[in-house]
């Protein structure tokens, strides 16, 4: 039986974690390294895969769209601060069950597709939100026993766009000629790596307007960046993993919120519930990216502040190459508090992510 992380929480007593000193003003820049923890602190428990079920989440609305691109930071594949994250020895098996065009409310674009994935590790429906026409699922488009053209169109294994009366999943001869000649195709479509965001489900931050975190804002910012004309040319993907509460589930997450109101930070709250500080796993994300054709040397630009996520997403054998990191700076920091999620709760949350979890966040 392959060795991968357990689905249950550790039975050992919680490990102590230093409590950061929260500033009374906006968090300044931090120089981050593996030595940022207080002396004497113990190593946090390793990550585990998420529970077998979490409720669905609907992306929220309300983050203003700003017509600006984000700054990319080159990633040195040889550089690794601290111990590497624990990775699955082999990637899980994934296959795309269905795909459909989604007309978005947040941007004036026509080519955004939602993909639903199944896998051999859990019973959840993990998602891939794909921007642009050129990123396609290999497992979805592969022939299946008894396939008909109608069945292929129903599951989303078609080229171009569906319309009433269409009878084939393939492009018409005219459309094929246009595609082969590059008509309507941006010449920069392969000049840079596509944007990718690995986003974990957050029902509270995306659906019930919670100001305890900036998860909903990050999801919308990722979609905004991928819908910019200069990024639509290369395409983009948001991998939406169903691992609520950093992998502990919604019920346990609400208990952690109560512990935070009693004076603990987000890391301490998880530990007091006998969960790891971060119980997420990214093997499924790596496998989904490979299925979407985003493996190999071309690389991706990863939207993240989490240094562990960079190495984890690349996979056990570096199946995916993270070429650049794009920082996810809170909107309130970018606008001097004029926009974005604000308040004491989210400032404490961000401070803990920086000081106790090593996230690379800056106000600039």
Residues acting as catalytic residues:
278, 280
| Closest to 127 in 3D by CA, of 199, 177, 219, 225 | 199
CA-to-CA separations, 336 to 51, 63, 329, 330, in angstroms, rounded: 38, 15, 12, 10
The pair of three-digit structure tokens given for residue 325, joined into one six-digit string: 């990191």
Asked if 237 contacts 129 with a C-beta cutoff of 8 angstroms, the reply is yes
In sign, the C-alpha dihedral spanning 167, 169, 175, 177 is negative
How many angstroms separate the CA atoms of 218 and 28, rounded?
Answer: 19
Provide the H-helix boundaries in the chain.
138-141, 149-155, 173-181, 203-206, 215-226, 229-232, 244-247, 250-261, 266-272, 283-291, 307-314, 331-334, 344-355
Asked if 59 contacts 206 with a C-beta cutoff of 8 angstroms, the reply is yes
Asked if 20 contacts 352 with a C-beta cutoff of 8 angstroms, the reply is yes
User: For residue 34, how many other CB atoms are within 10 A of its CB?
Assistant: 11
Strand partners, 117: 96, 126
Show Cβ contacts of residue 116 under 8 Å, excluding neighbours closer than 6 positions: 96, 97, 98, 99, 125, 126, 127
How many angstroms separate the CA atoms of 122 and 104, rounded?
Answer: 29
Query: What's the chain's Rg over C-alpha atoms?
Result: 21
Strands in the chain per DSSP E: 72-74, 94-101, 112-119, 126-131, 195-200, 236-241, 296-303, 320-326
How many angstroms separate the CA atoms of 17 and 191, rounded?
Answer: 44
Asked if 42 contacts 15 with a C-beta cutoff of 8 angstroms, the reply is yes
């Amino acid at each position: 039986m392959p060795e991968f992380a357990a689905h249950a929480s550790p039975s050992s007593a919680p490990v102590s974690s230093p409590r950061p000193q929260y500033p009374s003003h906006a968090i300044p820049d931090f120089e981050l390294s593996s030595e940022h923890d207080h002396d004497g602190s113990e190593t946090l428990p390793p990550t585990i895969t998420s529970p077998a079920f979490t409720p669905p989440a609907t992306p929220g609305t309300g983050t203003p769209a700003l017509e600006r691109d984000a700054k990319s930071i080159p990633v040195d594949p040889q550089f690794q601060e601290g111990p590497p994250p624990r990775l699955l020895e082999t990637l899980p098996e994934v296959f795309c069950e269905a795909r459909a065009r989604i007309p978005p409310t947040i941007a004036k674009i026509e080519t955004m597709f939602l993909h639903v994935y199944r896998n051999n590790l859990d019973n959840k429906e993990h998602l891939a939100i794909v921007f642009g026409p050129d990123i396609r699922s290999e497992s979805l488009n592969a022939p299946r026993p008894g396939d008909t053209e109608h069945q292929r169109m129903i599951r989303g294994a078609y080229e171009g766009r569906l319309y009433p009366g269409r009878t084939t999943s393939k492009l018409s001869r005219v459309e094929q000629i246009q595609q082969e000649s590059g008509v309507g195709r941006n010449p920069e479509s392969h000049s840079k790596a596509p944007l990718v965001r690995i986003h974990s489900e957050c029902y509270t931050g995306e659906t019930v307007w919670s100001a305890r975190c900036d998860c909903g804002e990050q999801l919308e910012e990722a979609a905004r960046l991928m819908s910019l004309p200069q990024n639509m040319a290369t395409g983009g993907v948001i991998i939406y993993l169903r691992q609520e509460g950093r992998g502990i589930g919604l019920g346990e997450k609400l208990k952690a919120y109560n512990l935070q109101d009693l004076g603990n930070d987000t890391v301490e709250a998880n530990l007091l519930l006998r969960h790891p500080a971060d119980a997420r796993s990214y093997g499924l994300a790596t496998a989904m990216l490979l299925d979407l054709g985003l493996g190999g040397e071309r690389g991706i630009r990863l939207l993240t502040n989490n240094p562990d996520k960079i190495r984890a997403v690349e996979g056990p054998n570096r199946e995916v190459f993270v070429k650049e990191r794009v920082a996810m700076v809170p909107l309130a920091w970018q606008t001097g508090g004029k926009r974005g999620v604000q308040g004491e709760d989210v400032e404490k949350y961000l401070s803990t992510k920086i000081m106790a979890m090593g996230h690379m966040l800056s106000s600039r």
